[in-house]
Structure 1
Amino acid sequence: MQEHRATPVDASVLSDPVRRRLYDHVRGAPGTTRDGAAGAAGISRTLAAYHLDRLVAAGLLRVDYARPAGRGGPGAGRPAKRYWALRDEVVVSVPPRDYGLMARLFVGAVDAAGSPELRARVLALAEEEGRAAGTGPAELVDALRSRGYEPVLADGGDVEMRNCPFHRLAEANGPLVCAVNHALVRGVLAGRGEDADRAELAPAPGRCCVVVHPAVPGD
C-alpha cells in the first residue's frame, strides 16, 4: 500500500467550486492535460490552466511533460503539461482539529482488548453505516465515494478502491481496519439490495484491501 500522509491546506484553495471540480477530475483521470481538464469542467483552457496551477502551488497536484503516444521527433510539437494528484490525504480544518488522534485511540483500544465480542460489535456498526450509505438512488460508486473511497472499474469488471479512507489507522492496526473496510463495503451492497458477498477482502499494494466483484447474472 502506498505511503500516505495528512497534508494541511488552506481551505480557500478548494472552496472555489470550479477549482474543486478540476481537482476531483484530476484525481479520477491521472495525467490529464489542460485541454482535458477544461473539457471535463466545461470551462476555457486559459481558466483551467489558472486553477490547475493554483492547485499545483498549493501542493495538491504535481506536473510533468510528455508528448501524446505515437508522436515524437521533429515536428511533433511541444510536450503537453500533464497534471497528477498527489497521494496525500487532504485535511481542511479551521481551526485545527485532531479527530485522527481520537480514532487512533479507539482503534488501538479495540485492538488491544482482544475481545471477540467488542470486535464483532465494531464490525456490525461498520456494516450498519455502510447500509445507510447504500440506501437510496445513488449508484454503487457514488455510495462508496460518500464514505471516502475512490472506486475504479478494473479488468474483469471488479470495482477496486484506489485508496483506503483509514490508511493512517491501518498502518498500526491493519487487520482490524481492513475488517472494518470489508464490513463497511458489505453494508453498502446490502443497503442497495445486492449480494454483500461480492465484497472480498483481498489486500494488494497500491489500493484498498476490499474488492467488489461483478454481480452474477440472475442474482
Structure 2
Amino acid sequence: MSEPAVRRREVLELLRATAGPVSIGTVAERLGVHPNTARFHLETLVRAGHADRVSGVPAGPGRPPLLFTARRQMDRGGPRNYRVLAELLADDLARADDPIAAAQDAGRRWGSRVADDVRVADGTEPAIVWLHDMLDDLGFAPEEPSVAGRGGEIGLRHCPFLELVDTHGGMICALHEGLLESAMDGLTAPVAVDGLTPFATPDRCLVTLRLED
C-alpha cells in the first residue's frame, strides 16, 4: 500500500474512532500532518463515499466550521471473493434437469440485460465493434474481429470464469454462448452470433459471426 493510501487509512480510522464529527485541524494535530494534507485526505474520503461533510455550530460571527465524520457502512475497499459465489451458483445450475439448457437460459437473461437500452448505429461494423467492446469490458480479452464474406469471427484470449471450466466447462460455455446470442439479438443488428467454440486452440476460444441482410 502506498504512503498516501496508508495515511488516508489512518484518517479514516481516526474518524471511525471518534464519537462525533472532527475538524481538519483536529485531524492534522492528532496525526501530526499539515492541515492541507489532512484536508486532501478528508476530501478524498468524501469523494470515495467513506466520509461525509457536516457543518458545525459557529462559535461567533462567520461561517460554521467544516467538520467530517465517517460514513457508517461496510468497508467497500476490502477484498472480494466472488469465486466462491460463482462456484455455488454453478453447483446450483448443475442440479437442474438440463444443466446446459439452464446455463444457456441464464446467459440469455444476462445478454438481454447487457443489451438493454443500448443504441448502436445501423450497420454491420458498428454492431461488431459494440460486441468486441462488450467482450472486452467483461474480461474476455477479445482479438480484433475478422470479417470475410458473410461471416466473421472474434478470438477470445481469456475466460473470466476460467477456474470453473475444469468442473463445469459445458455449463460455463453454454452460459457465454447464451450471453452472446441474446446480446446481439437485442441490438436488432444485421449480425448474429453463430456459435462459440471453446478452446478452438489451446489458448483461444472462438466466436463465430453470421452477417445477415
Normalised to the residue count of structure 2, the TM-score between the two structures is: 0.49
Query: Which structure is richer in relative contact order (CA contacts within 8 A, separation 6 or more)?
Result: 1
Q: Which is strand-richer, 1 or 2?
A: 2
Normalised to the residue count of structure 1, the TM-score between the two structures is: 0.48
